[in-house]
A = this chain, B = another copy of it.
Amino acid sequence: MKVSRLGERGIIELIWSVIKKEGGYQSLKDLVLPPSDDASAVRLEDGRHLVLKTDMFNRRTDAPKGMRHRQMGAKAVTINISDLAAKGAWPFAFLFSLGLPRNYKQSSVRSLISGINAAALEYGAPVLGGDVGEARDLIVAGFAVGFSRHLVKRSGASPGDIVAVTGPFGDTSAAYKILLKEMKAPQPLRKTLCRSVYEPRARLEVGIALAESGLVTSSMDSSDGLAFTLNELAKSSDVGFVIDSLPISKSAKDFASLNKLSPEDLALFGGEEYEIVVTVKKGAWKRALGAARYVGGDLIRMGEVVSGKKVVMTKGKKEIPIPAKGWEHLK
């Protein structure tokens, strides 16, 4: 059977099922984040955690039309750093393996590297190593190394906690409709929307601030889409979420209204939005908001953690299920 029948998440399940069956990371007694979390983490002797993440950027599937090489380089870094941010780890080093087609232009490689280097420095993780090989696609397999004092897992939410997120959603969905389906948006709206896919940034400061505040009970990077992330986060903590307020950006609302689309759908079923979805301890909302704002970030309340397994959104008195749909490679 072909892997495309499984899709990215099915293949990841296949990988870990092989490793679990044959034995592997289970032998590591200091492993504090399992491979199913956003990143892996191991407790060091000094009490800190070493946090490790690898994520692969492939131009053919991950670079929207019109993206520049410098932006591709920066995105290859961002997709790795975002997972460290969601765990509350400060980045320390970045490495990458580069797959290059033979006919690639030297000037493009130069721009790509410049983008990788600038983003890595911006996040505080200088490039420490790299490898180059030949490939038919342009590929940047990134590897981020970080440290954390207060690690936040995907699991840990309790009924009564508040579900919140570091920023509004919908821009990337709208941008992909402009770039792939040629939907219309006047300037400067078009520019704002497209920037969300050309120049995504990880929510690093707010991620670390929230983790170190000790007020956050679970956390996950939202790059697979808001709907998928909410379902995954709820499942990891074995709880349900009741969302009463969807965080939709002004620009996504404007775009939805111009093109007669559902703004909720834009916000829920996008992807490649690097906000962090968290649950905040009951009674700690104001302090958590303060911690986020203190570092120039934001925190938007979306709803509440409940017992049970439902992940729903309220509309008046009705509860509408939020399906675990999201962006997926190889499907």
A240 to B244, CA, bound (A): 73
Q: Is the CB of B133 within 8 A of A58?
A: yes
CB of A145 within 8 A of chain B?
A: yes
CB of A120 within 8 A of chain B?
A: yes
Q: Which residue of B lies closest to A19 (CB)?
A: B117
- Distance of A21 from chain B, by nearest CB (Å): 9
Stretch at the interface among A10-18, A172-180, A266-274: A10-18
Q: Which residue of B lies closest to A27 (CB)?
A: B126
Stretch at the interface among A89-97, A158-166, A187-195, A299-307: A89-97
CB of A130 within 8 A of chain B?
A: yes
Report the count of interface residues on A (CB-CB < 8 A): 79
What chain B residues lie within 8 Å of A110 (beta carbons)?
14, 18
- Distance of A115 from chain B, by nearest CB (Å): 10
Report if A56-B141 is in contact (Cβ < 8 Å); known contacts: A8-B132, A12-B132, A46-B45.
yes
Q: Is the CB of A330 within 8 A of B35?
A: no
Stretch at the interface among A47-55, A231-239, A283-291, A310-318: A47-55
Q: Is the CB of B15 within 8 A of A126?
A: no
Q: Is the CB of B104 within 8 A of A3?
A: yes
A141 to B142, CA, bound (A): 9
Q: Is the CB of A22 within 8 A of B135?
A: no
What chain B residues lie within 8 Å of A98 (beta carbons)?
11, 15, 56
Q: Is the CB of B15 within 8 A of A133?
A: no
What chain B residues lie within 8 Å of A109 (beta carbons)?
3, 11, 14-15
CB of A181 within 8 A of chain B?
A: no
Contacting residue for A52 out of B19, B128, B132, B139, CB 8 A: B128
A197 to B100, CA, bound (A): 24
CB of A31 within 8 A of chain B?
A: yes
What chain B residues lie within 8 Å of A3 (beta carbons)?
100, 102-106, 109
A67 to B91, CA, bound (A): 38
Contacting residue for A11 out of B93, B120, B132, CB 8 A: B132
Interface centre among A5, A31, A143 (most CB of B within 10 A): A143
Report if A133-B329 is in contact (Cβ < 8 Å); known contacts: A2-B103, A31-B128, A97-B141.
yes
CB of A260 within 8 A of chain B?
A: no
What chain B residues lie within 8 Å of A136 (beta carbons)?
60, 135-137
Q: Assuming A45-B46, A139-B141, A141-B141, what are 11 further A-B pairs, CB within 8 angstroms?
A: A3-B105, A18-B113, A25-B126, A28-B128, A31-B128, A54-B130, A99-B135, A99-B137, A133-B329, A135-B137, A136-B137
Some 7 contacts from A to B, beta carbons below 8 A apart, are A2-B104, A2-B106, A15-B132, A23-B117, A25-B126, A99-B139, A136-B136
Instruction: Across the A-B interface, give the 3 residue pairs with the lowest CB-CB distance, nearest first.
Output: A141-B141, A56-B97, A40-B128
